Structures are given as structure tokens and as C-alpha cells.
A = this chain, B = another copy of it.
Amino acid sequence: MSSTIQKRAARKSPAERAAEIAEAAREIALGQGLSAITLRNVAARVGVASGLVAHYQPNMDALVAGTFAAIVSEETEEVAALLEKRATPLQQLGMLLETLMDGSRLDVTAIWVEAWTLGRRNEALAACVREQMDAWQAVVQRLVEAGIDAGEFETFDAPSVAWQILGMVDGLNAQALVRWDGVSDRGTHLARAVEGMVGAARGSLLGVQQGGRISRSNAG
């Protein structure tokens, strides 16, 4: 009885409570979007009075911005770590595209898209968005430069190419948010595009399949 209906929340250390609040905000963001991060929403999920959530944050904009940063930076590091497992830049770029386009991270994509709009009225969030975009770009740029050094890629402008790759991936994923049907072989087509941009041989990025036939038919 008393275990199901708790009258008053157990007293916890500030650090512990802050972590609970951050985790609740994270879950809400991934499930219902950043704009669902409200005082009462977060408080209810933690099982605490609304005033307590406010007590742990200067204002809600900060909690939204912090939640965005937490979710996105975790993804960046996760994918970056995944790349380490591949030997060559060519393989790494292939894995990057494959991973980002497999549809397993659409919840994070939704967060990105919402942040682009919300950043218009939440300056703290806007700053976080720029910061996280830079972090992503740095990862990809390093990858492209490694490819140039290894002689696998041929392009004169690694920073811009990195931005372009990210923009393409984001756009295609955002599209998948609304319409994931209609496009077959999303990864394959993107691979062709990136190959063209990066100056890699056709079909070198992603497994052959239809791609193999493309390059042959285009050889002339």
C-alpha cells in the first residue's frame, strides 16, 4: 500500500536528484520531443513536486539545452568510437554512412530537427546546437583528412566536404522521419553521392549490390 502511493519523495543528495531529473528529461525528449520537457512533466516522471525541478535548474530553457547536449553528444561519441574499429578511412566512412542511415537513430534525428526550430527562441539551446554541430563536423573532417592522407580520397576542401556529408545525412534522416517509404537503398544512393564528392571510386564506399552494376554501365 504505502509502497505504491508515496506521499512524499525520499530525501536524496542534490547530485543524485539532479541526475534523476536529467534522466527524466532525457527520456521525455526522446519519447515526446524537447518541447515536452516542462516543469510538471519532468516532476511527474521523477515523482516529485514541480517546484523541485525548478529548484535544480536556473530555468527550463537551460534544462532543454542541457538535455539536447547530453543526448546528442552521447551519440557523437558512440559513433566516433564505432569508427575506431575499422582500419582504413574508406571503411570508416562507409561504416559512418551505414550507421547513420540504418534508421536506428531516428529518435535522435527528431531531437536535432526540433532543436533547429527551438533554437530560434532559446538562445542557450542555439549555442548547444552550434557546439554539437561543430563536434560532429570535427569527427567527419578528421575522417576525410585521413582519407586524403591515405590517398583514398581526392578533394581539396575537407572541412566543407565534412559539412556537406553531415547536411546530407541530416536531411535524409529528417525526411525519413516523415516518409521512410518510397526510397529504396537510401544508404546506397548516399554512398554514390559521397563517393562523387569525396573523389573515391564508384562502389568503393558501400557493398556492391546494385551499386556494382551502376559503375559498369557508366564506365563508358
Residues of chain A at the chain B interface (Cβ within 8 Å): 33, 35, 110, 113-114, 116-117, 119-120, 126, 129-130, 133, 137, 148, 154-157, 159-161, 163-164, 166-175, 177-179, 182-186, 189-190, 192-197, 199, 202, 210, 213-215, 217-219
Contact = CB atoms under 8 A, between A and B. Distances in A.
Given A130-B178, A133-B178, A193-B193, 18 more contacts: A33-B117, A33-B120, A113-B116, A116-B174, A133-B175, A154-B214, A155-B214, A156-B218, A157-B189, A160-B189, A163-B179, A164-B189, A167-B171, A167-B172, A169-B171, A170-B175, A193-B197, A199-B214
B160 A129 contact: no
Copies in the complex: 2
Contact of A172 (B155, B156, B168, B189): B168
A182 B159 contact: yes
A148 B218 contact: yes
